[in-house]
Copies of this chain bind each other. A is one copy, B any other.
């Protein structure tokens, strides 16, 4: 660990396996499928650990991620509307030897996916995305969801598979998510009932985020959940109260490169290593957590500099010392790194390649 160059991403294999196992156990207990969002790790190897632990399929954000993270025979969901000819065509090509689903919230997305699927002589299953309060994508009402479901049902090349939603707006403490999740449940139930009256079935009802993952049983309509961050965790998860520091599998090892300015040290991890993302549940907490100096605050980032206020610490590191940062938001952070170090106990370090890093479309 003292020999590799910094800054670099280091992944603790045991913590990854434990995070995967814990969610698989919870989901198994409640009869909910897990379809992990692979945007967090962008790695086939980690996806296989998730599949081996019983995941019902994989979630991707881009068709290109599907090409490198999923394999023939996999069940994959593009949790993103296949708008644009290239995106739809690459999805349709994947659908030839995968069970491929995609989420849509517009007629155009249905039409472009269906056209590409027909050209590819493939079949894409579609989930109608309904907005449950995030105000990002998804139709507003069960009636609008029904209209899209009917259009899918009548369109050649696509198959109506169900409903998708994303509770990305719910950051309440775990034991206070009840009312927000009850509202989600009510909207999903109303939509499912409306479809049923029209003779349409939602075989898949897919939701889920890391903050809400362990409260998924409060939404009995769900057949599956799609958390991503849970596999590594980060300071968003810690500061939201959804995990402990020890559950954070992915960390940045960096080096103190300057202590010339009084009260501060500067490390070689800046925004090109950590991203500029603040911690969602604690926006004034700085740019991550310095493991060896818990009283320190990473007050600002330049591209290759992290400036750390040490006034809350009774000792400070020297120039040349290595320190460890748990990032605020691990998903875009991983996307900055071509490779990570994969640490197995009592084994030499291995390289973990970020297979889908930086892919377009």
Contact = CB atoms under 8 A, between A and B. Distances in A.
Contact of A266 (B62, B84, B136, B266): B136
B268 A277 contact: no
Contacts of A83: 255-258, 268, 319-320
Interface string A309-330: 0000000001110000000000
**Copy number of this protein in the oligomer?**
2
Question: A-side binding surface: helix, strand, loop or mixed?
Answer: loop
A7 interface: yes
Contacts of A6: 84, 360-361
A50 interface: no
Interface string A125-151: 000010100011111100010000000
Contact of A5 (B87, B257, B304): B87
Contacts of A240: none
Contact of A335 (B106, B138, B261, B336): B336
Interface residues of A, number: 64
A281 interface: no
Given A268-B83, A303-B39, A320-B84, A136 B277 contact: no
12 contacts: A5-B84, A5-B87, A39-B303, A61-B304, A83-B256, A84-B268, A108-B319, A109-B319, A136-B258, A271-B275, A271-B332, A335-B336
